[in-house]
Chain A
């Protein structure tokens, strides 16, 4: 069974600070995705990383896929209150293409 360990599970910071969320596994994933979810809504896809070592940037968000495709990180620069939400990493199962989700990181950015 493929598992994704996401950390930290809770993060409360002040506006303007930087933060990093980690997603680790002992398994190799064909791709890894990061989602953001607001309360009472479905997750919204932020990015998909496919190639080992790949780095993608989305404004103040930087996503990295590990060289061995077993881990990924999400770095937010100068966090803003609008970044508050639940961040989820998800890896594509090698059998059947199911998405396996990490535990999620509840981020709170205070003004």
Chain B
């Protein structure tokens, strides 16, 4: 089945540094990927929709300059948290849609990245 790989699974960084998270579709081409943020035992909040070859679409309230998204190829999207601060600490999850699968809404999720900013 379709697999989405997310890396790293856990990162600890100092306040003010930037962190890059990668999301790869391993056996399918994903023209669209989604980035979510999740707080402990809470639901997933959609941050942005990443479109291959074009600018990402951000949800209301999400800072574009803070959370940089690049979708340079059909199998890779990256989320960079710039100048991270403790309030950015969270679980970040990516997902991708496999257009070849039945049901256009079916998403495959990465395993998530736990970001801790000290």
- Which residues does A use to contact B, with CB under 8 Å? 6, 30-31, 33, 40-45, 48, 50, 86, 88, 92, 96-104, 106
Least distance between B32 CB and chain A CB atoms (Å): 8
Q: Are B49 and A96 in contact (CB under 8 A)?
A: yes
Q: Are B110 and A106 in contact (CB under 8 A)?
A: no
Q: Are A104 and B41 in contact (CB under 8 A)?
A: yes
Q: Are A48 and B112 in contact (CB under 8 A)?
A: no
Q: Are A103 and B49 in contact (CB under 8 A)?
A: no
Q: Are B43 and A101 in contact (CB under 8 A)?
A: yes
Least distance between A35 CB and chain B CB atoms (Å): 8
Q: Return the contact of B105 from the options A44, A86, A92 (Cβ within 8 A).
A: A92
* Interface: B93 (CB within 8 A): yes
Q: Which of A42, A102, A103 has the most CB of B within 10 A?
A: A42
Q: Are B46 and A40 in contact (CB under 8 A)?
A: no
Q: Are A42 and B111 in contact (CB under 8 A)?
A: yes
Least distance between B37 CB and chain A CB atoms (Å): 11
Q: Please tell me the size bucket of the interface on B.
A: 20 to 34
22 A-B pairs in the complex with CB atoms less than 8 angstroms apart: A40-B9, A40-B111, A40-B114, A41-B112, A42-B109, A42-B110, A42-B111, A42-B112, A43-B44, A43-B93, A44-B109, A45-B107, A88-B43, A88-B44, A96-B49, A98-B46, A101-B44, A101-B45, A101-B46, A102-B43, A103-B42, A104-B42
Across the interface, name the chain A residue whose C-beta is closest to B104.
Answer: A97
Across the interface, name the chain A residue whose C-beta is closest to B108.
Answer: A45
* Interface: B103 (CB within 8 A): yes
Q: Are A99 and B43 in contact (CB under 8 A)?
A: no
CA distance A40 to B6 in the complex (A): 12
B34-51 CB contact bits vs A (8 Å, 1 = yes)? Answer: 100000011111100100
Q: Are B41 and A106 in contact (CB under 8 A)?
A: yes
B81-118 CB contact bits vs A (8 Å, 1 = yes)? Answer: 00000000001010101000001111111111010000
Enumerate chain A residues within 8 angstroms of B44, measured Cβ to Cβ: 43, 88, 101
Known: A42-B110, A88-B43, A104-B42. A99 touches B105 (CB 8 A): yes
